[in-house]
Copies of this chain bind each other. A is one copy, B any other.
Amino acid sequence: MDALLGALRGIVGDGHVLTGGDLGAWERDWRGRARGKALAVVRPACTQEVADVVRATAAYVQQHPDCGIGIVPQGGNTGLVLGSTPDESGTMLVLSLRRMQAVRNVDATNLSMTVDAGCIIDTLHECTSAQGLWLPLSLAAEASCTVGGVLSTNAGGTRVLRFGTARDFCLGLEVVTATGEVWDGLRGLRKDNTGYDLRQLFIGSEGTLGIVTAATLRLYPAPKACWVAWADVPDMASALGLLERARYSLGDALTAFELMDRSALDLVRKHRPALRVPLYPSGAYAVLLEYCATDAGMRAPLEDTLAAAMQQGCATDAVLAENARQSRAFWQVREAIPEAQAQEGPSVKHDVSLPLGAMSSFLDATAAALCAAIPGVRVLHFGHLGDGNLHYNVFPPEHVDGRAFVRDEEERINDLVFAQVTAHGGAIAAEHGIGSLRARRLAQVEPPVAMAMMHAIKKALDPTNLLNPGRVLLHSVQNPCMEKRPCLP
């Protein structure tokens, strides 16, 4: 392997092939579930270096078909499904795109920007808002996650209701293929039917088909004003009623509809006592609505919507943030949930989506199944109700050790939850992706005909299974090497 590492040093420079010292920042996943061991961390500075690294590695693998070497692309390493960290084999190269941070172009006429894959989402927000433009991508990890990671996982967030997932933000891609060629698909056109949509195929494929090195993103004119409201909602049927009413009366100006159950807010109060919950739920839920308008004076439709919802019984009470600072404070409560959960201790987490009509039934059936199986278990859910996306997390009964609970019960809990998701027509992965954490599940729940097509596509674009092996697809049966690569939990 020294020959390969030497070649890589020749491409990216000695200082950017890391093999010694503490590589924990690249080897450990965001949630701290697992730590792998990398053969090396390679940090290219530009697209051509990425291509050269892939080509050199592919050539080495061809000469040493049993080496088991694979390339794991990594952006901000904020993924939640073990998709961007190496496994324990010690044969994975972590290819970090973080040095590639150029904003190549901001085009106000075309309402688009072209940026390197390693750009942090927050820096793009700063860059666009300075020009009166808006990238409405909003997700919890935006201060750390990168464009490449967001597109590779088709990340979602809080404004999918109006603006769609990462897939919908992307007008073009630059990708390094498994053979180390550069595909320049950065035209950034609104309409482009020149053959198969390779862009959409790469988006969400988690670096298993190619490595995203740059993207052209869709921008919007900055809204004149955004208002945030907080509603106290008795139950799921009411939450859905409020959503429907808000959609009809606010249309596209309804940009977020976030659901929080009472347990989630209890944890925020417990672990982040300095935050003020605008209205503590008298029933099952609180809802945060965001309304962004092109006219600074148009607050009335949101007020009217909330008033009508209260009259109709969909909401028990509601408050409207008075200014931007208060809007920020409302959002902070919503955003504090993941951290408050972490402080509470380990839990078994799921990121699922469901048809809205099946939401109530799913929640009832799943809670019943879990409580029957593990008496005293505590369920917490919150998420992006406008998109049918719930983060559905299961905590141990009081006084049970969280770590032991997760170790002993995770599989059983997953079985129960995913069985209900499937029975209700939902998806076991909504916005976090598959990675290696859900690869086995994916093969179980998706129809064989879909899995066969995915494997055929993988084999077509990455026949030697060089790129992020074992992620999304458990293993490529055509590659005998794969059996040697242990799968992460």
Give the B-binding residues of A (Cβ under 8 A). Answer: 107-111, 132, 153-154, 156, 160-162, 164-165, 167-168, 177, 181-185, 187-198, 200-201, 203-205, 209, 220-221, 223, 240, 244, 247-253, 293-295, 301, 353-357, 384, 386-389, 425-434, 442, 445-447, 449-451, 453-454, 456-461, 472-473
Contacts and interface: CB of A to CB of B under 8 A. Distances in A.
A76 to B, nearest CB: 18
Contacts of A192: 353, 427, 429-430
Contacts of A434: 193-195
Contact of A472 (B108, B195, B451): B195
Given A167-B197, A197-B203, A446-B195, A426 B357 contact: no
B456 A461 contact: yes
21 contacts: A109-B357, A156-B191, A182-B449, A183-B447, A189-B430, A190-B386, A191-B431, A193-B427, A194-B445, A194-B446, A195-B446, A195-B451, A196-B201, A196-B204, A196-B209, A220-B251, A248-B294, A252-B294, A253-B294, A456-B461, A457-B461
A122 to B, nearest CB: 22
User: Which of A109, A389, A453 counts the most B-chain CB atoms under 10 A from its CB?
Assistant: A453
A111 B357 CA distance: 10
A109 to B, nearest CB: 5
A438 to B, nearest CB: 8
Given A182-B449, A192-B429, A196-B204, 15 more contacts: A109-B357, A110-B357, A161-B190, A184-B447, A189-B353, A189-B355, A189-B427, A189-B430, A190-B386, A191-B388, A192-B353, A195-B473, A196-B453, A196-B472, A198-B453
Contacts of A472: 195-196
B201 A200 contact: yes
A427 B461 contact: no
B355 A193 contact: no
A252 B251 CA distance: 9
Contact of A190 (B203, B293, B387, B461): B387
Contacts of A247: 111, 221
A162 to B, nearest CB: 8
A188 B187 CA distance: 29
A87 to B, nearest CB: 20
Nearest to A456: B460
B109 A240 contact: yes
Q: State the copy count for this chain.
A: 2
Q: Which 4 A-B pairs have CB atoms at the shortest separation, nearest pair first?
A: A251-B294, A200-B200, A460-B460, A252-B252
A434 B194 CA distance: 7
B251 A426 contact: no
A354 to B, nearest CB: 7
Contacts of A456: 460-461
A348 to B, nearest CB: 19
A254 to B, nearest CB: 9
Given A200-B201, A294-B248, A449 B183 contact: yes
Nearest to A293: B251
A125 B227 CA distance: 33
A190 B459 contact: no
Contacts of A164: 168
A165 to B, nearest CB: 6
Contacts of A160: 190-191
A285 to B, nearest CB: 17
A454 B196 contact: yes
Nearest to A208: B196
Q: Which of A162, A182, A384, A461 has the most CB of B within 10 A?
A: A461
A179 to B, nearest CB: 9
Contacts of A388: 110, 189-191
Contacts of A426: 187, 189
A453 B252 contact: no
A454 B293 contact: no
A355 B187 contact: yes
Given A250-B294, A459-B460, A200 B197 contact: yes
B356 A110 contact: yes
Given A187-B355, A187-B426, A450 B197 contact: no
Contacts of A460: 453, 456-457, 459-460
A187 B425 contact: yes
Contacts of A445: 194
Contact of A442 (B195, B209, B293, B357): B195
A379 B183 CA distance: 34
